[in-house]
Amino acid sequence: MTVYENADGIAVARELIPARIRKALYAGASLLGYGLAAAAVGLTTAGVAVPEAVTVSLAVLGALTGPLGQLAASNTPTPAVAPDPAEGLADEALQ
């Protein structure tokens, strides 16, 4: 776990879940989602009743998608902000 100090000097955990575990979580959620969706669509198209386990799993996966997306977004570096031309720094930054 990486720890850093925020602007107030308070120690904050930067990485609660290591990158390799997050990568596995994202991949697993994606593969599970693709598989469940394909099963549900295929069974529905064939006119067969979709098993309750597939329906419930799709609902649970849908509920977990938001937190997984938030986890991914919070661990994605933000690009540097371009200088504001109104401040006269744009020409200096390009040199």
Does any domain span residue 40? Answer: yes
In angstroms, the CA 75 to CA 81 distance is: 18
Q: What is the pLDDT of residues 19-60, one digit of tens each?
A: 888 889 889 999 999 999 999 999 999 999 999 999 999 999
pLDDT surpasses 80 at 67: yes
Amino acid in the structure at residue 34: Y
Where does the pLDDT of residue 17 fall: very low under 50, low under 70, confident under 90, or very high at 90 and above? confident
Task: Give the pair of three-digit tokens for residue 81.
Answer: 């902000």
User: For 9-14, what is the mean pLDDT?
Assistant: 58
The closest alpha carbon to 40, from 32, 49, 29, belongs to 49
Does any domain span residue 36? Answer: yes
Does any domain span residue 82? Answer: no
The closest alpha carbon to 60, from 38, 84, 83, 36, belongs to 36
In angstroms, the CA 52 to CA 73 distance is: 32
Does any domain span residue 74? Answer: no
Does any domain span residue 55? Answer: yes
- Domain span at residue 54? 29-65
Q: Give the pTM.
A: 0.61
In angstroms, the CA 3 to CA 22 distance is: 18
How many domains, in total, are found in the chain?
A: 1
